[in-house]
């Protein structure tokens, strides 16, 4: 007896739930859509139709990988961030909900500055989720995406294309911990979600993060602050007068970041909180 798309969805959902996967509804939906190449809307339209055995086998295969611990974003090569679609591979971190606070802060600051055609630098860009989300809110803005990893930059390039931002985006492969390259110009805003986990915490991370996500995108050195120290100091001269630097930070890194900003001559240090009310974003202006 062939299965309908909905039958497969229910089966996925039950298997995920009985294996204690908290977001079993969402993940089952993401898997059936990906296995059948349908959008959410197309799935809802077609759910009573019969699926081919090939689609059913593909969905089962994805479920197996998920039950072995692989994050669903790497299985389906896709994830949503700030309402936009992103292509995701193990070369980049999976966009986090917490990181939406960075985008919120950037949007708020650019509106406050009245800078609707801002030039924005997305440093340690990974998938490019932050840069794309900001660019989507400001259609006249221009973005420079920087990452050390050529493979991450390739993923980022695809996402910029996917979100129709190619004509106003540049890509540069360079190390955020060294001096900025010559000739990249100045910026109204530098946003950055650098690796910030202290090295000795890496083995203690959740297995789905530790075993699958790129460790170089997480490891911020002995105290987790290596990138912040270098970026605050070395990239400051690229900020235009009144420009802002906005960072995502880890739990408990708020005070030290404030100090780093102030001792390096920045002003107006402010925090923004994530859904658990932890200071997740710190920003300052020059
Ligand atoms: N928030 C991420 C995590 O906890 C870390 C992101 C980062 O290091 N930039 O997995």
**Rounded to 5 degrees, what are φ and ψ at 191?**
-115, 145
Q: What is the mean pLDDT of residues 178-190?
A: 97
pLDDT higher than 90, residue 281:
yes
Residue 157: how many CA atoms within 13 Å on its side-chain side? 11
Percent of the chain, pLDDT > 90?
Answer: 99
pLDDT higher than 90, residue 1:
no
Q: Which of 230, 232, 229 is nearest to 246 (CA)?
A: 232
Q: Which atom of ligand 1 is nearest to the CA of 219?
A: 8
Task: Tell me which residue has its CA closest to atom 9 in ligand 1.
Answer: 195
Q: What is the mean pLDDT of residues 84-91?
A: 98
How far does residue 196's CA lie from ligand 1's centre (Å)?
A: 7
How far does residue 10's CA lie from ligand 1's centre (Å)?
A: 32
- Identify the pLDDT of residue 57: 97
Q: How confident is the model at residue 100 (pLDDT cuts 50, 70, 90)?
A: very high
Tens-place pLDDT, residues 257-274: 999 999 999 999 999 999
Task: Tell me which residue has its CA closest to atom 7 in ligand 1.
Answer: 195
The ligand 1 site (C-beta within 6 Å) comprises 96, 98, 193-197, 209, 218
Q: Which of 73, 79, 81, 96 to mutate to test the pocket of ligand 1 (most atoms within 8 A of CB)?
A: 96
Tokens of 233: 């100091």
180-213: string of b/e by CB count within 10 Å (b at 16+)?
beeeeeebbbbbbbbbbbbbeeeeeeeeeeeeeb
Task: Tell me which residue has its CA closest to atom 3 in ligand 1.
Answer: 218
Q: What is the mean pLDDT of the chain?
A: 97
Q: What is the mean pLDDT of residues 235-260?
A: 98
Residue pair 86/79 in contact by the 8 Å Cβ criterion: yes
pLDDT higher than 90, residue 226:
yes
Q: Which of 149, 150, 152, 132 is nearest to 141 (CA)?
A: 132
- CA dihedral (224, 172, 174, 163) in degrees, to 10, reads 30
Tens-place pLDDT, residues 34-81: 999 999 999 999 999 999 999 999 999 999 999 999 999 999 999 999
Which residue is associated with the tokens 């919120």? 104
Q: Which of 93, 193, 198, 228 to mutate to test the pocket of ligand 1 (most atoms within 8 A of CB)?
A: 93
Tens-place pLDDT, residues 106-124: 999 999 999 999 999 999 9
- Identify the pLDDT of residue 222: 97
- Identify the pLDDT of residue 261: 98
In terms of phi and psi (left: phi > 0; alpha: psi -120 to 50; beta: otherwise), the region of 224 is left
Q: Which atom of ligand 1 is nearest to the CA of 96?
A: 1
3-state secondary structure the chain: CCCEHHHHHHHHHHHHHHCCCCCHHHHHHHHHHHHHCCCHHHHHHHCCCECCHHHHHHHHHHHHHHHCCCCHHHHHCEEEECCEEEECCCCCCCCCCCCHHHHHHHHHHHHHHCCCCCEEEEECCCCCHHHHHHHHHCCCCEEEEEECCHHHHHHHHHHHHHCCCHHHEEEEECCCCCCCCCCCCCEEEEEECCCCECHHHHHHCCHHHHCCCCHHHCECCCCCCHHHHHHHHHCHHHEEEEEEEEEECCCCCHHHHHHHHHHCCCEEEEEEECCCCCEEEEEEEC
- Identify the pLDDT of residue 23: 94
Q: What is the mean pLDDT of residues 153-159?
A: 98
**Rounded to 5 degrees, what are φ and ψ at 138?**
-125, 85
């Amino acid at each position: 007896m062939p299965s309908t798309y909905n039958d497969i969805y229910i089966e996925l959902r039950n298997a995920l739930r009985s294996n204690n996967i908290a977001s079993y509804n969402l993940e089952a939906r993401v898997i059936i859509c990906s296995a059948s190449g349908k959008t959410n809307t197309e799935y809802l339209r077609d759910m009573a139709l019969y699926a081919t055995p090939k689609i059913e086998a593909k969905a089962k295969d994805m479920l197996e990988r998920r039950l072995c611990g692989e994050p669903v974003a790497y299985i389906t090569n896709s994830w949503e961030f700030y309402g936009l679609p992103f292509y995701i591979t193990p070369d980049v971190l999976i966009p986090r909900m917490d990181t939406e606070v960075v985008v919120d802060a950037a949007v708020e600051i650019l509106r406050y500055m009245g800078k609707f055609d801002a030039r924005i630098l997305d440093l340690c860009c990974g998938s490019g989720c932050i840069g794309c989300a900001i660019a989507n809110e400001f259609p006249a803005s221009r973005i420079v995406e920087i990452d050390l990893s050529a493979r991450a930059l390739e993923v980022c390039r695809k996402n910029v294309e996917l979100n129709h931002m190619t004509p106003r985006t540049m890509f540069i492969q360079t190390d955020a911990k060294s001096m900025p390259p010559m000739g990249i110009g100045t910026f109204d805003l530098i946003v950055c979600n650098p690796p910030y986990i202290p090295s000795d915490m890496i083995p203690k991370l959740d297995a789905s993060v530790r075993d699958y996500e790129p460790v170089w995108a997480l490891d911020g050195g002995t105290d987790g602050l290596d990138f912040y120290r270098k970026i605050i100091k070395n990239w400051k001269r690229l900020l235009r007068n009144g420009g802002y630097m906005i960072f995502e930070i880890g739990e408990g890194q708020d005070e030290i970041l404030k100090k780093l900003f102030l001792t390096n001559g920045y002003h107006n240090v402010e925090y923004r909180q994530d859904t658990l009310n932890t200071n997740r974003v710190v920003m300052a202006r020059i």
